[in-house]
Each structure stands twice: as structure tokens, then as C-alpha cells.
Amino acid sequence: MTPFKWCVYMNSPIDFCTPLLKEMVRRWVSRNESFVLKQTMVPFTVGDVCMGLGLGVGGLDVNFDDDFDAVVCHQFSSKSFTVKDVIHRIKLLIQNNETDVDCVCRLYILVCFIVFYFPRHSKAVSNMPFRVLDNIDNLYEYNWAKAVHTFVVNSLGNASRKIRQGDIRDLGLSGNVAVLQLWAVERLGLADGAHDIVFPRIMNWRSLKLRCNKIEELFKRKEICWEWFLRDEDRQNSIICAALHLEEGSIAEDDGDELGLSWEQVVMKKIEDNQRKMVAMDKDLRSLATLVGVGKEDYEKGNDGLKDDVEDVMDIGPVVSTVPLHDDTEDDNLLNVNRTQLYNMVIPFKLPWRVVSEIFGQTFGTQECYSFGPRMQVGNTLFVPIIHDGHWWCYAVKIPSLEMFALDSFGHKRKERQKIDNVIAHNLALLFGHLLNCAEENKPSLEVQHLHTPIQPNKFDCGVIVLKIMELWDGIDKYERKTMPSYTTEELQQVREHYVCQWILDVDNVRRNEVLEDLGML
């Protein structure tokens, strides 16, 4: 028997839920090899491929090639052949009683590769693990689960990139997409009772008939099933134990000091090591907090070091009317809500405190709305907003190159900034040293580069500008040879209004209708 024995028992066609696969592509995060469910990244792993398709983990990497000198390719006169040619060749061979069984097996497995495990869009068969089929007795020596996982992950990344770029005229997935639907059924708890729990899951394929709105709702609301459901016999299956790391015992020889320790002892040792690192990092962060003055006193200070006058904002604050920077969403139009009126009703200072937005457990109240009153997406960049002496600015670190930049709407000539720059750079270097598990002699060092940032048009919009920096900045000079656009006070006021209304009117805000009804806007 080969690792692909399950294909022999698959007698029914596999029907895919296309809307489900589209939603999965839209929610794919390539960098983490995860899908986003309920604003949480849930990984898609090699173990998931094992549970779905029954392929083992561990072993030699599978090499894909165009080596037409491989034994299986000798069955064809041309280097350009299709899956139909392979099937036709199998039919001819089985009619001959003197045919070598291994020849038929190689061709059958090749068909499995072409149409199930590693399907492509091209008609001609190419870039397949031809050479691996030379010795079909050694197929168990290869990591087939990893090969299938890598193949489909690369395809997901390409499709996801096309969607982000808006290039969706020709969008398709290569690789075994069946395992993606099996993953979704398991993680979203869509299995139909205990009889669906088989190994591998492909042996009991569940047909899904779901509309796009239902699928989107499932990904937003459904509780996540983090573990695969297992039967007692599954826990005794060596393939499953290896894939899901269920086995216990001594650690492999290349783990050094941990040799001979039990699994629990190794985990506890790693936890203790991490706790020591966290204590050291906490000490560094406390030193940083002391320096930059993050605390209640700084919160109450204005840009000139004096406390803000916050009396009777409800009485003296003007009613603001602005033209929205962003189009209303379809959902906003259905509610028929005047966004400007909503904004003006939740920003006054003397409003009783209440929660106006609660999205996935994150609350936003009237006190936070007041901060946005008038006055008064980068995947590979770390942003560090800082407040000191009542002024906000931001540091940005490009993760791949560890380049560090300071973006300050007051400019870079303030004397106290230099010392703060040095401390922030030192502590971020410690952080990346811990995260990257660098040896003491190889720990990174960061040097702050000062980028020209448009100067704020007033004394109070630094915080809003920092929010826009974290939203827009990518280090590219695309705003009249600057990395950030310039804003007028009026434009920044529109940004404030947009943020407040966006949070309240968000479709996931469980308090939205309650707030709008209380304000008399529904």
C-alpha cells in the first residue's frame, strides 16, 4: 500500500462550495499561514492536511521537477502529454496480462497527483514529482502532507494578492482545495454529528450549500473549534499522533539539554525561560515609561504643559457640519442615519458616560468620542505611538530590514526628542532580540532615521495625525515627494468624524441600534 491508498476508496465526485472558498481566500493571511475567523488568526497547518487527506508528516522533502527521464515518463513518446493521455495509457496496459504491475501503479499515482493532490490550470502535465515515482516502495519516506500544504499555501497567497490588488478577472486556486473545505467544516463546527468523524475526513465528504451572506456570517460569528475531533482509535493512530503532536516521551537528540525530559517538563522549562525574558522586558519597559512620562499627569497636560480647559464643552463647542471623506456603506444607507448629526450627539464632554460601540469585546464610549470632538493595513511594519508632554508622535520599524523611522508632526528639532529616540531604539532592539531569539553577540541594533513629516496645522491634532500615519504610512514618497499627505484643520476634523461614526455604525457593533434609538436617530 502507498500513502495514497485513500484515493482507491473515493467513489463519489467531490463538489466544492465555491462561495466558501472565495471567502477563505479573502480571509487568508500569507505571512502567518492563517485564516481570519472572528478577528482571530487560525492557522492552517501540515497537521490539518494529514487529518483531511490521510497523508503522513515527516520525512524527505518532495522535489517537483520536469525530469522526463523518470521511469513513469518512459510510457509516453512525447514530453508534452495530458491527464487524458495518462488514463488512456493505463487502459492499454491493463488489457495486457504481461504488464508490470508497478508501471500501472506509477501511472495511477501520477493521475492522483495531477487531478487531486497537485492540480494545476495547465493542460500539459509538468513540474510534478516524476522522479519520486521511480521507486514506489519508498513513497512512505517522503513528507507528502508538507508537499500538499506548501502547494496550496502558495496558491492561496497568489490568489489573495490578486484580490488585494483588484486583479480578479482571472482568479483560481491550484493545489488540493478539498483540504481547505475540510478545514473550514472542522473549524466552524459544520460536521453533522459523530458519524462525520472519520480518518481521513475526505472519506466522508460533506456537501455544503451555503450562500455568500451565510458564509460571511459564519466566519464572523461562529465559535472556533480549535482542535480536530478524534475518536479513541484515532488517538492510537501513529500518523495522527505525529501530525497533531499527541505523542509524549523523550525529546529528539538535537534538542541538547532537553534530551530525556518528558514533554511536560520541556514545556515547563520553556515557560520558565520565557517568564525570565518577560521580567527583563518589563523592567526595560518601566524604564521607558518613566522617561517618556506615560501617566495621568501627561494625559491631563496640553502641548504647553498646562492642563486643558474642558469646562462646558457641550455649551460652547460649535455644532460641526462637514462633508464626509468616505462614502456611506450600504448598511449605513439602510439605517438612514445622518452621520454628522450622530457625530455631534456623542462628542460633548458633559454627556453621561456610556458605551456606544462594542465590537468583538472592544468597547468605545462617550469619553473616547469626546477626544475626537472639534477643538479642540501595514502588514510588515511595527508602529509605536508615543505621547510625551501632551504631544503624540510615532516610530515605525520595517520588520524585514529593521529600519527605524521617527514621524513627528512637530518636526525633529526638540532637544528632548533625541534622548527619547535613543531609549525607544534601545528597547525595541531588545524586543526584536527576544522575538528573533538572537544570541547575545548577534542582537540587532536600531538607529532612528528622521523622516520629513508634514507639520500639523494646529496645536491639538497630533493624535489624529498619528492614527493616519498608522493607517497610510508605508515609507514610499507618494504624496508630493513625501511619505504622508499634508492636512488642513478642516480635513482633520473630517477624519475625527469618520472615526467616531465608523465605530458606532459598524455592522459588528452590538450596541449600535440601542445607541441610535436612544439618540432618536432610528
pLDDT tens, residue by residue, 150-175: 999 999 998 888 877 765 666 778 99
The confidence score (pLDDT) of residue 510 equals 84
The confidence score (pLDDT) of residue 32 equals 84
On the question of pLDDT at 68 being above 60, the answer is: yes
The confidence score (pLDDT) of residue 443 equals 80
Tell me how many degrees the CA angle 91-97-99 measures, rounded to the nearest 5: 70
CA distances, 61 to each of 5, 148, 171, 321, 436 (Å): 20, 11, 29, 63, 26
| 48 and 86 assigned to the same domain | no
| 56 and 135 assigned to the same domain | no
Rounded CA gap, 412 and 402, in Å? 21
The confidence score (pLDDT) of residue 267 equals 56
- pLDDT over 90 percentage in the chain: 31
| 136 and 87 assigned to the same domain | yes
Residue 215 is assigned to a structural domain of this protein: yes
Crossing angle of helices 18-26 and 144-164, rounded to 10°: 80
Last residue of a domain, one of 194, 223, 247: 247
- pLDDT over 70 percentage in the chain: 79
On the question of pLDDT at 224 being above 70, the answer is: yes
| 190 and 333 assigned to the same domain | no
The confidence score (pLDDT) of residue 260 equals 52
The confidence score (pLDDT) of residue 303 equals 46
Which residues, 6+ apart, have CB-to-CB distance to 314 below 8 Å? Answer: 348, 349, 350, 351
On the question of pLDDT at 325 being above 70, the answer is: no
Residue 298 is assigned to a structural domain of this protein: no
- Asked if residues 171 and 34 have their Cβ atoms less than 8 Å apart, the reply is no
Last residue of a domain, one of 108, 141, 174: 141
Map grid coordinates 540587532 to a residue: 444
Q: Tell which wins on pLDDT, 436 or 70.
A: 70
Rounded CA gap, 352 and 255, in Å? 59
| 115 and 169 assigned to the same domain | no
Residue 443 is assigned to a structural domain of this protein: no
Rounded CA gap, 11 and 492, in Å? 62
Residue 423 is assigned to a structural domain of this protein: no
* Predicted confidence (pLDDT) per residue in 399-418, tens digit: 878 899 999 988 877 778 88
Tell me how many degrees the CA angle 228-232-235 measures, rounded to the nearest 5: 60
pLDDT band at 251 (very low <50, low <70, confident <90, very high): very low
| 159 and 53 assigned to the same domain | yes
The confidence score (pLDDT) of residue 318 equals 41
Last residue of a domain, one of 247, 277, 292: 247
* Predicted confidence (pLDDT) per residue in 341-362, tens digit: 888 888 776 677 778 888 876 7
Q: How many domains does the chain have?
A: 3
Residue 500 is assigned to a structural domain of this protein: no
pLDDT band at 372 (very low <50, low <70, confident <90, very high): confident
Rounded CA gap, 307 and 299, in Å? 9
| 155 and 218 assigned to the same domain | yes
The confidence score (pLDDT) of residue 290 equals 64
* Predicted confidence (pLDDT) per residue in 102-118, tens digit: 999 999 999 999 999 99
- Does residue 324 have a cis peptide bond before it, meaning omega lies within 30 degrees of 0? no
| 16 and 157 assigned to the same domain | yes
Rounded CA gap, 190 and 184, in Å? 8
Q: Could you tell me the three cell numbers for 285?
A: 519597559
Which amino acid is residue 257, in one-letter code?
Answer: D
Mean pLDDT along residues 360-373:
75
On the question of pLDDT at 319 being above 50, the answer is: no
Domain containing residue 322: 313-372+510-518
The confidence score (pLDDT) of residue 220 equals 84
Rg (CA), the chain: 29
Mean pLDDT along residues 268-282:
65
Map grid coordinates 512525447 to a residue: 78
How does the average pLDDT of the chain come out, rounded?
A: 80
